[in-house]
Amino acid sequence: MSRRGNCYDNAPMKSFFRSYKAEEVTWQQYATHEEATQAMSDYIDRFYNRKRRHSSLEYLSPLEFERTRREENETRNRLPSSETGH
């Protein structure tokens, strides 16, 4: 995937940075590199992973998606094997 000429090589990062620039950086001015680095970390922890909906995750936030999958797996594991079709 990291070979030269592969058009999908940087697609996830380009998508993230496009969102980051549109939703956060455009409205901010950072005095230092450290301040910008801290702001990016806060953005990821505070918004991108907790609240922002992702089309690749059925329009759920990453936390909602993980919680939903965990609950589905727990429910599936509690059912007797005859009900799960195994």
Q: What is the pLDDT along the chain (86 residues), one digit of tens a residue?
A: 556 666 666 777 788 888 888 888 888 889 999 999 999 898 888 877 777 787 778 888 888 888 899 998 888 888 776 555 55
Does 54 map to a domain? yes
CB 67 within 8 A of CB 75: no
How many domains does the chain fold into?
Answer: 1
Does 41 map to a domain? yes
Does 62 map to a domain? yes
Does 47 map to a domain? yes
What is the three-class DSSP state of 73?
helix
Does 61 map to a domain? yes
Quote the domain boundaries for residue 45: 34-73
Does 13 map to a domain? no
- For residue 77, the tally of other CB atoms under 10 A from its CB is 8
Does 51 map to a domain? yes
Does 63 map to a domain? yes
